[in-house]
Amino acid sequence: MNSPAAPFVPATPATPARQPFHDTSQDFHQFLAAYREAFPEDVLHIREPVGADQDPTALVWALAAQGRHPALLFDHVEGLGTSLATNLFASRERVGRMLGGVPPAGIHAEYQARSRRMVAPRVLDSGAVTGHVDTEHIDLRTIPAIRHFATDRGPYITNAILIAEDPDSGIGNASFHRSMLHSPTEIATSLHSRGHLWRMQQRAAELGRPLPVAMVIGAHPLFMLAGAARLPFGVDERHVAGGLFGAPLEVVRTPRHGILVPAHAEIVLEGVIDPEARVDEGPFGEFTGYSSDRSTNNLLRVQSVMRRTDAWLVDVVGGNSAEHLNLGRIPRESEMVEKLRERFPGITGVHYPSSGTHFHAYVALRQSRPGEARQVMLGLLGWDPYLKTVVAVDDDVDLTRDEEVLWAMATHLQPHLDVVVVDGLPGSALDPSASGVGTTSRMGLDATRGPNFDGVRARIDEAAMRRATALLARIGEPAAPVP
């Protein structure tokens, strides 16, 4: 995700040499098997039975409290009838491996380079997802789903990528939308992003006809990353998936409407979004860390079910989990880094911290002239509709550590001089602080030193830090690696 100078990444201890990770499949089962072989310590396999009511989420939270973010594979989840895989995107290192083995600091550049090399899909007659196709006896109660939070309305499908194809223009769109069972043949979902799918649904409603869609529940992680891409209207995420794979996305047609869906997906539901129906949906634990019942309350009437014979539930951890945030922010960060560096070559890193959900960003730069930090902050605040706060710092500040950014704010920023506020702008519908308003204010904090700053940063020589590390090792105490 980043080019030459990305977010600062602390040094890590040397690890034993191993075979590089090679995954040329578009099949999630093959991906996970290859990944477990290459990085067995990064996949936690839970063979003990667990409940479907919050147990997987609780385990993710307990591991995160220890600073651990492994991918999780559950063999036995109560009532699911299949294996559950989750927490795939919780680690930036793991995302870098998905993109061919780049380090976290290289994800931005690699993601953008691959996603720009778009490739049209290749249509197959059949695939793993056509192992079982039902168009007559629909019973969605057999579709696996878990309850993530006590405050959720019920079990949720968090990895629901809805694909639509505009019947007039042929424009395709794929995007994530939280979804839950409404009846044995219907799904309640929210198009709260009011993005391209919302636009297509509104157009269909104006014409008085339902919008055909296909819901992909589980597929290769690179297809999932493509579903989170930020694209202009008319650019198809399935083509982006081909770019990420470096080969055409293999697709099959759904039986009713002929929508192109990944041939090796786990489960696909096909149907229409009813332009008139409104159903209850939510609350659900959203990326803000709050339970949200804000929803467009759309109804998907399911007309066919496609699933592989050995389908797993490939889940996305909800709430403000590292997985949920990474999946949404990596494509956004990548786009922002590219845009900013085209205009401001002095930028050395951009980082969206987990502490800020999707509403904060940090940017590091070497200023070439006074006021440049303000320009950079205003650029970010203008381009990214989710952002409320941007903090600009100097290039020697570690963007991945909140405490370093807070230190820069404490020692470099004068509020009456270095704070920029713009109000009355559109904001996220899920921002709880914007309740009942619909607009937000945005703030830039210039925590760079500025041209007249008087101070020299205290430092310790690397040799002294190495001696301290060696001493702690001799007396059996853990030490942070020396940068």
For residue 19 the two structure tokens come to 């075979």
pLDDT band for position 426 (50/70/90)?
Answer: confident
Measured CA to CA, the distance from residue 315 to residue 160 in angstroms comes to 9
Name, in order, each residue with C-beta under 8 angstroms of 106's C-beta and a sequence gap of 6 or more.
Answer: 1, 2, 3, 6, 96
Decide if pLDDT at 478 tops 90.
Answer: no
For residue 93 the two structure tokens come to 């290192």
pLDDT the model gives residue 315: 97
pLDDT the model gives residue 483: 47
Confirm or reject CATH 2.30.110.10 for domain 1-317, answering yes or no. yes
Choice among 15-29, 238-252, 349-363, 400-414 with the minimum mean pLDDT: 15-29
Please give the angle made by the CA atoms of 229, 149 and 224, to the nearest 5 degrees. 20
Measured CA to CA, the distance from residue 144 to residue 85 in angstroms comes to 12
Q: Strands 84-86, 284-285: parallel, antiparallel or unpaired by DSSP? A: unpaired
Sequence spans of domains, the chain:
1-317, 344-446
Amino acid at 475: I
276-307 residue pLDDT tens: 899 999 899 888 888 888 888 899 999 999 99
Measured CA to CA, the distance from residue 221 to residue 14 in angstroms comes to 27
**What share of the chain has pLDDT > 90, as a percent?**
69
Please give the angle made by the CA atoms of 427, 430 and 434, to the nearest 5 degrees. 55
Mean pLDDT score of the chain, rounded to an integer? 89
Choice among 12-21, 28-37, 366-375, 421-430 with the minimum mean pLDDT: 12-21
Decide if pLDDT at 134 tops 70.
Answer: yes
The structural architecture, per CATH, of the domain 344-446 is 3-Layer(aba) Sandwich (3.40)
H or E segment to which residue 337 belongs: helix 322-343
208 phi, psi to nearest 5 deg = 70, 30
Do residues 164 and 199 touch, judged by C-beta distance below 8 A? Answer: no
Measured CA to CA, the distance from residue 67 to residue 61 in angstroms comes to 10
8-56 residue pLDDT tens: 333 333 334 444 677 889 999 999 999 999 999 999 999 999 999 999 9
pLDDT the model gives residue 13: 37
Do residues 319 and 286 touch, judged by C-beta distance below 8 A? Answer: yes
Measured CA to CA, the distance from residue 160 to residue 213 in angstroms comes to 12
174-221 residue pLDDT tens: 999 999 999 999 999 998 766 889 889 988 888 889 999 999 999 999
For residue 85 the two structure tokens come to 């895989």
* Residue carrying structure tokens 């991945």: 400
Answering whether pTM is above 0.85, one says yes
Q: Return the closest-CA partner of residue 64 out of 359, 313, 319.
A: 319
Helix axes 107-116, 322-343, angle to 10 degrees: 80
Name, in order, each residue with C-beta under 8 angstroms of 220's C-beta and a sequence gap of 6 or more.
Answer: 25, 26, 27, 28, 31, 245, 262, 264
pLDDT the model gives residue 81: 92
